[in-house]
Structure 1
């Protein structure tokens, strides 16, 4: 690496296991990790960052010092990860920093993440773009809450990241835009995190619900008829209808044969790539060149760099075996002539 690298990584909604493989790999490689504990769960950093990495709380550092950190990364060829909640492309404020890193001559990249909206929809088990009700979603930032009335006139699904303390003003805009009082609303707070809270309510009861649960901080508000629960198919089934077994098709038989054949194949190394990189990055550097005389145990790595290490260990064992056999050998005793002489 001829220069430093800054990676703007989407940490997902907060859970440590809802981050992409590439994002986890960048954190494991990083010399410096910049993050805000208020929006990204600390477990996400502890799970992936190596012990020697420098952790910087972004919420306590002004923008000027962060830019200075990027300059230090360019001068010292450091690998820096800036963690963003959700996806950096959605209200991440990443564009100015991205341009600053490019001007400093740094290698810069953006690693997408799971958006909180997708995580909330997964928790409630709803498709937000149901073709029968709504085929589009309006994403609104807190600064655009004044335009909610115009957005509400479309009558489609709307998702707004907003402090709960402004719920009353938000309801007024929704009503003025045409949303009925019985329109379903889902309030998602810290989705996928240990203190996650998902509340189902309506436009008419939204303000009271927020006060009841004391949701005054930033939360995700999803509004739309597509959130209305549908009747379960199981309740509409006829109990007297006979159960018929499915007939296997030629395609399903071919698929079953292929799956059975793959069982004997070795596992795909791509699934263990992140684990191997994390273990290699967290491993402290050896103080002595040939300190690893004992064979390493339970070390999994998929990096090509691990191959020379195995060779060094093998060479050290061979040298030790030679040094251990430097005792001079005894000369063998002369053999006695056991052959009989014919005197006849």
Structure 2
């Protein structure tokens, strides 16, 4: 195996997986998503590794760099932010490598929506509140299927984690209300979760846009919507004294 797609994690360099860090240390070529990946991670590269910032590259240039390295017998790490399976644009890269008969492996990473939950000290799935997490984004330059429009998804009133949309927050909140969320539904926005400069703004659907504008936050932030952020909830049956399972008798 000569090509590895590696999830860099949300920003904190200690949140990359052990396997991901090990591969960075072995790589002869690293192509990293410079607009989002914490450059501190590059300190794990060995001396002499060729490093490319894909923010200034086209898809064809990324693929050519990979193919050239593979033909030279080199190990390539394609370093994506968070977990590469979410909004990582890796499928087109993997399909192109398959067409060239170049094998590869994907190494998962900690997604920013999980780092956001950690920053908020919040569980997304609370008994009798929400048992579903919707991961989505507002339509922008990349279209969203009609059945996945934000207003349609909002009808479930589940916990929602919204990527890549904080710069269109007015439109986000309008669609959430159109879809059925109450205006007093709690919202939290976390900018650069797990980074030293992490910021957290809490409000409601009706207040969050103004709060964000006043805070000057307009990019690199996760929006979380749902009653899990402030609701009363039932305790889990898993640890209830009268609940028996294969590891514990009821008491």
Give the TM-score band, short-chain normalised.
0.7 to 0.9
- Distance apart, 1:28 and its partner CA: 0.6
Of the three residues 15, 19, 22, the one matched with 2:16 is 19
Where 2:123 maps in the other structure, the secondary structure is coil
- The answer to whether the 8 A contact 2:11-2:192 is kept is yes
Q: Would you say 1:140 and 2:142 are equivalent positions?
A: no
Report the RMSD for the aligned CA atoms in angstroms: 1.9
- Distance apart, 1:141 and its partner CA: 2.6
Q: Would you say 1:74 and 2:70 are equivalent positions?
A: yes
- Distance apart, 1:230 and its partner CA: 5.7
Any stretches of 5+ residues in structure 1 without a counterpart? 232-250, 252-344
- The answer to whether the 8 A contact 2:31-2:54 is kept is yes
| 1:26-45 pair list within 5 angstroms | 26-45=23-42
Any stretches of 5+ residues in structure 2 without a counterpart? 234-246
Partner of 2:192: 190
Q: Would you say 1:49 and 2:45 are equivalent positions?
A: yes
- The answer to whether the 8 A contact 2:4-2:107 is kept is yes
Where 1:126 maps in the other structure, the secondary structure is coil
Aligned residues: 228
Instruction: Tell me the TM-score normalized by structure 1.
Output: 0.63
Higher-RCO chain (CA-CA 8 Å, sequence separation at least 6): 2
- Distance apart, 1:145 and its partner CA: 9.6
Partner of 1:10: 7
CA distance in 2, matches of 1:169, 1:157: 18
- The answer to whether the 8 A contact 1:74-1:104 is kept is no
- Distance apart, 1:229 and its partner CA: 6.3
Instruction: Tell me the TM-score normalized by structure 2.
Output: 0.86
Where 2:15 maps in the other structure, the secondary structure is coil
CA distance in 1, matches of 2:185, 2:96: 44
- The answer to whether the 8 A contact 2:184-2:204 is kept is yes
CA distance in 1, matches of 2:105, 2:138: 27
CA distance in 2, matches of 1:98, 1:154: 33
Tell me which structure has the larger Cα radius of gyration.
1
- Distance apart, 1:78 and its partner CA: 1.0
